[in-house]
Amino acid sequence: MTVMTLIQAVNDALKHEMRRDDRVVVFGEDVGVKGGVFLATEGLQAEFGKDRCFDTPLSECGIIGTAVGMALYGLRPIPEIQFLDFIYPAFDQIVSEAAKMRYRSGGEYTCPMVIRSPYGGGIKGGHYHSQSAEAYFCHTPGLKVVIPSTPADAKGLLIASIRDEDPVMFLEPKRIYRTLKQEVPEGEHVVPIGKGRIVREGKDATVIAYGAMVGICEQAAELAAKEGRSVEIVDPRTLVPLDEPLILDSVRKTGRCVVVYEAPRTCGYGAELAAIVAEKAIEYLEGPIVRVAGFDTPFPYTLDNLYMPDARRVLRGIQKTFQW
């Protein structure tokens, strides 16, 4: 075991898979010589050469279109989109080509590729570097959507994604790239796609969160404990496919549910989580399902800390479920 930050764990996973499988190629804006804007690909070009880790023009559509072609011809491309906010020029390639390939070919072709991109706020990047757009991709059949919340999960889930036969959106919460450290298994480490985890066990309320919000919810759970409330935290880890049984078992046990996400509140992925709980566990609920989320505005530059949920806002959400 080695102590790593989340960004180091991503780098370690990329190196592990590139050494294991010479079909794996990494490319994107500044990922080669520079090693990426956050240094996630640092050292890859030096070790594997320019044919397997290379810089591209500033064209997200071109990056993803190239990756689709590579995947269809037997490679395992890992294109990086520098910030998730920049992905929209490539949206058609992702949802109309990569996501549809298995279905439109009757299963004859798959499109094994991992689209890596940092997402979310917390670095005062303003509204062009802070968006949480995961719901767009969760709405697209044929895509898997993975969001790690710890270094160990980042490595294990990324390796699993690279080996998957379908296209995966691998979204990395940049707020905790370097602020969170954890022991990470060396060498082979795979975390299955579609399996969530219980971050903290509790009996009075369930809080569902992913990405950088998991740590915030852990802080809120500590505050709730001082009030005598035992909070269970569930991290889905993969939004598509979703580990519904884990979430529902937790809610049925606690009788209360708070969903936390940093995207805008309306039609955010947390709304889907709330709907699932309402449809399949409403008879167990002892209070309202509460969403704690970002606001329905562009992401503000100077009010970054007010836009994103913090421990106090999550605590108020927990308290609301007891006021029924």
Please check whether residue 192 lies inside any domain of the structure: no
Last residue of a domain, one of 121, 152, 184: 184
Number of domains in the chain: 2
**Residue 178 DSSP one-character state:** T
State which residues form the domain around 306.
197-320
Residue 284, domain CATH: 3.40.50.920
Q: What are the pLDDT tens digits along the chain (324 aa)?
A: 899 999 999 999 999 999 999 999 999 999 999 999 999 999 999 999 999 999 999 999 999 999 999 999 999 999 999 999 999 999 999 999 999 999 999 999 999 999 999 999 988 888 889 999 999 999 999 999 999 999 999 999 999 999 999 999 999 999 999 999 999 999 999 999 999 999 999 999 999 999 999 999 999 999 999 999 999 999 999 999 999 999 999 999 999 999 999 999 999 999 999 999 999 999 999 999 999 999 999 998 888 888 999 999 999 999 999 986
Q: What is the dihedral of CA 141, 144, 145, 148, to 10 degrees?
A: 160
Which token pair is 252?
């049925």
- Known catalytic residues are 129
Q: What is the spatial distance between Cα 280 and Cα 264, in angstroms, rounded to a whole number?
A: 25
Lateral strand order in the sheet of 53-55: 53-55, 24-28, 76-80, 114-119, 168-173, 144-146, 238-240
Q: Check whether residue 274 and residue 129 sit in a common domain.
A: no
User: Which CA distances in Å does 224 have to 171, 206, 251, 312?
Assistant: 29, 12, 17, 10
Please check whether residue 296 lies inside any domain of the structure: yes
Q: What is the spatial distance between Cα 205 and Cα 277, in angstroms, rounded to a whole number?
A: 13
Give the start-end residues of each E strand in the chain: 2-5, 24-28, 53-55, 76-80, 114-119, 144-146, 168-173, 181-184, 197-200, 205-209, 231-235, 238-240, 257-264, 290-294
